[in-house]
A and B are shown apart, each in its own frame.
Chain A
Amino acid sequence: MSADYLDGNALAGPLAEIFTTDVSAAVGRCASCGLTGPVASLRVYGPAPGLVARCPGCNEVMLRLVRSPDAAWLDLCGTACLRIPMESAEGNSP
């Protein structure tokens, strides 16, 4: 099996069109096997016809992104949860 994929950093640019934070820095949990790790560690196939990001543990699809000239389709049903690092929110301290 050849390494015909890129790492999850390849998602940073395309996802920056949609999200205001850098999702490649987030930590995701695979809905299939439960492996938890940085989005940057996913195995990314594509970019055409679409980006397909797979779990490095079980190879199941965690994210798909298709971009047409006037729309983006984002499928995250293989991702159970994403922990997205945020700026600390004001006024949240006890």
Chain B
Amino acid sequence: MATFTRGFHGKRRGGDDRLPPGQYLTDDFPVLSAGPTPQILPSEWEFTVETETGQVHRRSWQELMALPSETPTVDIHCVTTWSKLDTTWQGVSLDVLLEDVETAAEYALVHSYGGYTTNLPLEDLLDGKAWIAYRYDGEELHPQHGGPARLLVPHLYFWKSAKWVRGLQLLNEDSPGFWETAGYNNYGDPWREQRYADD
């Protein structure tokens, strides 16, 4: 883990151990958007996984609700330098959603309602590291925070946790997403402070 200045006075004891370099703690949940907020009804929502061979797996909202869910408590880190500790979510692990998907792909391109995309290695979505989250802080996920459902990948900067998620495209070759093609880092590890393309 990178070393960093220990001058920050966190609001919680031990908070600065959990604060990546260059970040500050906030209790707010700032809303950043690159476009209008899509209003998606659960009845019209679906989540698709398309493999590198063109196989498409679809799940409706009802099917998502019927899957076993988890309630992760995680720290989130936005590239605009705010971090928020102990956020509580409910959602379905990507391990569950990808269980019956046959793939040898190494990369995923995440697609959202409204056209947003973001890319990451497929392994960063597996082994308990990522969820399709539909509740935040005990309530239904508000549209401005990505509801009805968003991707939650808390070990990477929060732009990777795509709001209004609608599907994954599994790819043999990496394909940079919306911010990754406009100067932001391709991977985005907050502990290595990978903010911009040349970091």
Which residues of A are interface residues toward B (Cβ below 8 A)? 1-2, 4-5, 45-46, 48-50, 52, 54, 59, 61, 64, 66, 68, 71-73, 75
Contact = CB atoms under 8 A, between A and B. Distances in A.
Contacts of A48: 32, 80
Nearest to B196: A68
Chain B interface SS verdict (over half) = loop
Interface residues on B, range: 10 to 19
B35 A64 contact: no
Contacts of B37: 1-2, 4
B67 interface: no
Contacts of A75: 181-182
Given A68-B196, A73-B197, A49 B36 contact: no
B184 interface: yes
B195 interface: yes
A2 B182 CA distance: 26
Given A4-B37, A45-B34, A48-B32, A66 B182 contact: yes
Contacts of A66: 179, 182-184, 196
8 contacts: A48-B80, A49-B184, A50-B183, A54-B35, A66-B182, A66-B196, A68-B196, A68-B198
Chain A interface SS verdict (over half) = strand
B33 to A, nearest CB: 6
Given A45-B34, A54-B35, 14 more contacts: A1-B36, A1-B37, A4-B37, A49-B34, A50-B34, A50-B183, A50-B184, A52-B35, A61-B35, A66-B183, A66-B184, A68-B196, A71-B183, A75-B182
Contacts of B79: 49
